[in-house]
């Protein structure tokens, strides 16, 4: 469930509104910042938290981190072939 937007960090870019598959988020016409307009519809998919460019969104039950991308595409493909 989406928990909070840090209003000090939010720059009102609208990325979270765009990537939300459940249409939960709106950009406030009064503050220009993101709000959870339909919080109860949240799927807890973490898209908004992962894509916010300034880390202003917290989704519970925990903060999800992007998986490390330290290996190369060639290594990744060879791992798949060997499985
Ligand atoms: S966690 Fe997913 S469903 Fe919930 S507000 Fe963020 S993008 Fe929308
Ligand atoms: S993606 Fe982050 S900075 Fe952009 S509007 Fe949403 S909360 Fe604000």
| pLDDT tens digits for range 51-83 | 999 999 999 887 666 555 555 555 555 655 555
**DSSP notation for 4-72:** EE-TTT-----HHHHH-TT--EEE-TTTSSEEETTGGG-----HHHHH-TT--EEESS----PPP--S-
Angle at 79 between CA 73 and CA 83, to 5 degrees: 150
**Across the chain, what does the average pLDDT equal?**
85
Spacing, Cα 24 to ligand 1 middle (Å)? 7
When pLDDT is cut at 50, 70 and 90, the band that residue 49 belongs to is very high
Percentage with pLDDT > 70 across the chain:
75
Nearest CA to ligand 1 atom 6: 48
Mean pLDDT of 10-16: 97
Q: Is 5:57 a contact under the CB 8 Å cutoff?
A: yes
Range name among 7-11, 45-49, 76-80 with the lowest pLDDT average: 76-80
Domains of the chain plus CATH, in order, are 2-82 (3.30.70.20)
């Amino acid at each position: 469930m989406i928990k909070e937007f840090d209003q000090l960090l939010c720059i009102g870019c609208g990325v979270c509104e765009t990537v939300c598959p459940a249409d939960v988020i709106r950009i406030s016409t009064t503050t220009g910042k993101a709000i959870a307009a339909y919080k109860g519809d949240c799927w807890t998919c973490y898209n908004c938290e992962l894509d916010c460019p300034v880390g202003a969104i917290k989704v519970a039950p925990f903060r999800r981190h992007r998986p490390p991308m330290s290996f190369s595409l060639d290594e990744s493909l060879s791992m798949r072939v060997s499985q």
